[in-house]
Homo-oligomer: A and B are copies of this chain.
Amino acid sequence: MSKTVIAIDAMGGDFGPAVTIDGLARIHKARPHASYLLFGNEDRISAELHKHKALSDICTIIHCDVDVPMDAKPSVALRQGRKISGMWKAIQAVKEGEAQACVSAGNTGALMAMSKVILRTQPGIERPAIACIWPTVRGESVVLDVGANIGGTAAQYVQFAAMGAAYARTVFGLKKPDIGLLNIGTEEMKGTDEVKEAAELLERSELNFKGFVEGDGIGRGDVDVVVTDGFTGNIALKTAEGTARQMAEYLRQAMGSSLMTKIGYLFAKSGFDALRERMDPNAANGGMFLGLNGVVVKSHGGADADGFATAVEVAIEAADADMLGEISRRIEKIQTLLDDAWAESLD
């Protein structure tokens, strides 16, 4: 396999280089063809690199004076970080072809704003979306949009579906991923006009559309790709994370309630460890920005080194599998459908 270069916004996230560099150290043996461009404060990055000798050969530090604060508004981050911040330069490296993907654990809004400004949307795509990998009872599904856009038109939902299908194809290796539209009922009369219109378009598309999916169908793994708008998707994602933590807390309380349950916990420890691993959000870390002329992955700001490593692996896989080309081909296939629907709306 030829070399894959990943641009890393090394200062991003709640812990900066301590986590981002440690994350790279955890995967460099499993991904020997990957090398990294590290953007950020040279001294701090070097200090971390010294702890992981084997990494030095495959890392190049590009010193940047400006970090994007985690709580900056996107507009402020763009004004203050344009051309000089590590985040900007990491994305710019993808644009220039110096890297095949960019990974950041920094400010989500700023990363989306800069990515859109630098990379622009792929032909036929109106708005980029953020896709997450959602663990399900059956395995894993792709859910998008989970935060890039509030609301959306029917055409945008169809574009999201095509992008999600391309992502599932490249990352899960699914030939014909099935697609559902998130809605409040599986009957036809419910939902917003945009969602209902999107369903009509998807029925007529070459995508493997399975109809509406309700909130409880996501974790059940009803479909491979769940399409929604960024407001609803983000609230669904956060609600699921909150519920998982709540269940873990209930379990902790239940297991500490008596001597018998404590003994039981010790016997069952391997089971509980397996459970903790399945519930670990770091294992599914990595918000993929879809629809841009470049691969950008957002790692959770609070992710640990394993979580950041997962995000970098997702970026490597998307780059290696030519996800952008796959999205282009999918979008091309639905273009006529969307053009005709648009022309009808002018009648």
State the A residues within 8 Å of B (CB): 71, 73-74, 109, 135-137, 147, 150-151, 182, 184, 187, 189-192, 214-220, 228, 230-232, 234-251, 254-255, 257-258, 260-261, 263-272, 274-275, 278-279
Secondary structure class of chain A's binding surface, majority of residues: helix
Given contacts A73-B187, A150-B184, A184-B231, 8 further A-B contacts (CB under 8 A): A74-B189, A109-B190, A150-B191, A219-B243, A239-B239, A263-B267, A263-B268, A264-B264
- Decide: B189 and A217 in contact? CB cutoff 8 A: no
- Decide: B257 and A261 in contact? CB cutoff 8 A: no
User: Given that A191-B150, A251-B275, A279-B247 are contacting pairs, would A242 and B266 also be in contact in the complex, using a CB cutoff of 8 Å?
Assistant: no
Q: Specify which chain B residues have a CB less than 8 angstroms from the CB of A244 in the assembled complex.
A: 243, 247
Q: Specify which chain B residues have a CB less than 8 angstroms from the CB of A215 in the assembled complex.
A: 234-242
- Decide: A275 and B246 in contact? CB cutoff 8 A: no
Chain B's closest residue to A189 (CB) is B73
Copies of this chain? 2
Query: In the complex, what's the smallest C-beta–C-beta distance from A134 to chain B, in angstroms?
Result: 10
Query: In the complex, what's the smallest C-beta–C-beta distance from A143 to chain B, in angstroms?
Result: 10
Query: In the complex, what's the smallest C-beta–C-beta distance from A317 to chain B, in angstroms?
Result: 25
Chain B's closest residue to A236 (CB) is B239
CA distance A251 to B254 in the complex (A): 13
Q: Specify which chain B residues have a CB less than 8 angstroms from the CB of A187 in the assembled complex.
A: 71, 73
CA distance A236 to B214 in the complex (A): 10
- Decide: B246 and A219 in contact? CB cutoff 8 A: yes
